[in-house]
Structure formats: structure tokens, C-alpha cells
Amino acid sequence: MFTPKYPPQDTAPPPTTTEQTITPVVSAPATPAPAPGPAPVVSAPMGNRPTVQLTPGSALALAAGGGAVVLVVGAVLVSMLLAVAITAASVAVCAVVLRSLLNAEGKH
């Protein structure tokens, strides 16, 4: 039961190697092409950057979305805290019951 189970050995035949004769190829020396110069870097001036403009409707939607995220995250955190509190209370009750059972056993 506790002995490891190994997969069966691979039964594929080993790869065969064949010798190939390589004939040298003689080519005429080529002249290297001139390297191209560096590409020009185009940067946008500081005054021409696009700005984000919030309309009243988009600002309201952004605030509503942020509020919804805060409410959802808060609900999740509160439910996790409640689950931990309920678990701790049940463990405490079990400990009290076991203690009373062990004390009653010792007195009899």
C-alpha cells in the first residue's frame, strides 16, 4: 500500500544515428552592408499630453463604482470576521462541556 508505484519503462527503440558526409561550401567573401543609423526619437512636448476630463455623469459613475467596491469589500471582511467569531465561540463551548465532563468523571 505504501510502496511507490513507478510507471513502466519506455519501450521505444533508441534513436539511431546515421553519419552524413559534409561537403565544404566555398563562397566568395561578401561585403558587409552599412549599418543603419539610430532611429530618431520623437517625444511629445509636455503641453500636448492628453488630459482626462471628467464630466458630471462620469464623476458620478466613478463615485458610485468606488462606493460599491467599498461596500462589497466591507461585507466580505465583516462576514469573515463573523465566521471567525462563531468558530471561536463554538470551540469555547466545546471546551467548557469537555471540562465539565472530565470533572464529573473524576468525582464519581
The pLDDT tens digits for 54-83 are: 888 998 999 999 999 999 999 999 999 999
Considering the domain boundaries, does residue 85 fall inside one? yes
Cα gap 3→8, rounded to integer Å: 15
Q: Is residue 98 part of a domain?
A: yes
Q: What's the pLDDT band for 89 if we cut at 50, 70, 90?
A: very high
| Max CA pair span of the chain | 109
In this structure, is residue 35 part of a structural domain?
no
Residue 33 predicted with pLDDT over 80: no
> Cβ distance 54 to 62 under 8 Å?
yes
Structural domains counted in the chain: 1
- What confidence tier does 2 reach under pLDDT thresholds 50, 70, 90? confident
- When pLDDT is cut at 50, 70 and 90, the band that residue 25 belongs to is low
Q: Is residue 71 part of a domain?
A: no
The answer to whether residue 44 sits within a structural domain is no
| Cβ 51 vs Cβ 44: under 8 Å | no
Is 92 contained in some domain?
yes
Backbone region of residue 27 per phi and psi (left: phi > 0; alpha: psi in -120 to 50; beta: other values): beta
Look up the pTM and report it.
0.43
Q: Would 50 be classed as within a structural domain?
A: no
